[in-house]
Amino acid sequence: MKILFKSGNEDIATVYIAKMDSGKYLEFVESLQPPLERSEKWVLIVSTLFGCPVGCPICDAGSYYNGKLSEKEIFSQIDFLIRKRFPDLKVNVKKFKIQFARMGEPAFNTSVLNVLKNFNNHYEAPGFLPSISTVAPVGCNNFFSNLVSVKKDLYADGNFQMQFSVHSTSEKYRDIAIPVKKWSLREIAKYGNSFYNHGDRKITLNFAISRDTPFLPEIIEDVFNPEIFLIKLTPVNPTRTAVKNRLDNILDLSRETELSKKIEKLRSAGFSIIESVGELEENRIGSNCGQHLLEFLGRKKDRMFIPYEYKLEKLY
């Protein structure tokens, strides 16, 4: 793997673009959550696909698709970042979160499951918290059934974070926001009920909200159990695709009166609510959503290349 480019602020987030031995490109991220120090919380966001076949109208990764990453290629991203900070492979971080959510829908790639199974064979990371974020595409039942076993065997008792990107309570709107065959809200609820065990973290229902997004709390109350699911609200970040589709109207969640009323209604029904706005600096860096890769490939001559060759050292 060759690192071609990096961008960002090491006190907040850094995006890396890499060329794999296959000649394909990907990107991955490391980030912090100020004011927490790296020793308290460190987040890695890695790619699982080269691009993404889904093509969501708020995500730049769906502009192309060039196949799945192997287990080794997923590990190469993780290994680069860990060796950079912890060369002895002992990750002394209280909360060390890896999100399999940078480029690509993870449920399309069973190599993600192999990474989860083999992670502890490579690193000493007692604070490791894997995170799967998925749109729950149809046809991935083997992935989701095996994920239940992996979580139960290796990451029980609150050591796994499961997130479904649902974005709206309207199935018609979801078909536009997530243009792939996928589970309905009730199918997500059914799976979540079987996935969750006492002591687990609650399953996150992520809603990337714009001003025109249908969001009805009564539907959430009817379909989902607040003892199992929590609600996460995020604005639509200004990716190139979101701007093109006029969906980049970032909400100030604290000033949206109607939305605030809906949030309070859900709280009254027992749901935990996360209002995840993030650092505005992350929009400039491009680390919280959206991808640098397409811009990089289209404007190589304007970019800074980092002369650094990275190879896996006795890991495989």
Buried b (16+ CB within 10 A) or exposed e, 280-305: eebbebbbbbbbbbbbbeeeeeebee
What does the DSSP 8-state code read for residue 300? G
Buried b (16+ CB within 10 A) or exposed e, 229-239: bbbbbbbbbbb
Position 315 in a domain? no
Position 239 in a domain? yes
pLDDT tens over the chain, length 316 residues: 999 888 888 888 898 989 999 999 999 999 998 899 999 999 999 999 998 888 766 666 656 788 999 999 999 999 999 999 999 999 999 999 999 988 899 999 999 999 999 999 999 999 999 999 999 999 999 999 999 999 999 999 999 999 999 999 999 999 988 989 999 999 999 999 999 999 999 999 999 887 778 999 999 999 999 999 999 998 766 555 555 555 555 555 556 678 889 999 999 999 999 987 655 455 454 545 555 666 666 654 333 333 333 333 333 2
Position 255 in a domain? yes
Position 131 in a domain? yes
Position 314 in a domain? no
Strand 203-209 relative to strand 41-45: parallel, antiparallel, unpaired?
A: unpaired
Position 101 in a domain? yes
Q: CB of 8 within 8 A of CB of 15?
A: yes
Its pTM stands at 0.86
Position 120 in a domain? yes
Structural domain including 44 reads 2-309
Position 170 in a domain? yes
Q: Compute, in degrees rounded to 10, the torsion defined by CA atoms 109, 112, 164, 260.
A: -130
- Domains contained in the chain, number: 1
CA atoms within 13 A on the CB side of 240: 11
CATH number for position 60: 3.20.20.70
User: What Cα–Cα distance (Å) separates residue 32 from each residue in 40, 53, 265, 310?
Assistant: 9, 29, 32, 23
